[in-house]
């Protein structure tokens, strides 16, 4: 216990990847959930702590999915889906995003590729 009454614990540091090139490349795809090509597609970061999401910090940039504004809002604030449904939506779109960026040669060479083959759905 810290002298101020706080319990200070040691946590492993998360190795964040920040890649503006990767985030920009995500904008070149259609929405990987609904297929929209309406100019609102952006890189939607994972909301999972295992991907580096914290209280005021986004997950690592390698954990993104190309989503349109509507799907991104539903993912982050959707009241019609359960937490597990939102996670399933994001995971499926993330895997499609990674595969499509790699297929098109748009994944930046300096950004590590996540191991999408080991994901549990």
pLDDT digits (tens, 9 = 90+) for 94-111: 999 999 999 999 999 999
Tell me the whole-structure pTM to 2 decimals: 0.86
Tokens of 93: 């779109």
Indicate whether 73 belongs to any domain. Answer: yes
- Are 89 and 70 in contact, with CB atoms under 8 Å apart? no
60 inside domain? yes
* Domains held by the chain: number: 1
- On whether residue 36 sits in a domain, the answer given is yes
Q: Which domain holds residue 44?
A: 20-112
According to the model, what pLDDT value does residue 14 have?
Answer: 79
Query: Does 121 reside within a domain?
Result: no
Q: What is the CA radius of gyration of the chain?
A: 16
Determine phi and psi for 78, rounding to 5 degrees: -60, 130
Residue 8 inside a domain? The answer is no
Query: Is residue 101 situated within a structural domain?
Result: yes
Is it the case that residue 5 has pLDDT exceeding 50? no
How confident is the model at residue 15, as a pLDDT?
Answer: 87
- Whether the CA torsion 78, 46, 110, 103 is positive or negative: it is negative
Residue 2 lies in a domain: no
In a domain, 14, yes or no: no
Q: Burial of 86 by CB count in 10 Å (0-12 exposed, 13-18 middle, 19+ buried)?
A: middle
């Amino acid at each position: 216990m810290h002298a101020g009454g706080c319990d200070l614990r040691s946590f492993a540091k998360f190795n964040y990847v920040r890649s503006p090139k990767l985030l920009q490349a995500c904008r070149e795809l259609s929405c990987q959930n609904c297929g929209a090509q309406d100019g609102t597609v952006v890189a939607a970061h994972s909301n999972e702590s295992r991907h580096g999401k914290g209280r005021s910090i986004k997950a690592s940039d390698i954990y993104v999915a190309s989503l349109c504004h509507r799907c991104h809002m539903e993912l982050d604030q959707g009241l019609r889906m359960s937490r597990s449904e939102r996670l399933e939506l994001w995971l499926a779109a993330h895997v499609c995003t990674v595969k499509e960026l790699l297929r098109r040669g748009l994944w930046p060479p300096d950004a590590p590729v996540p191991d999408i083959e080991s994901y549990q759905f």
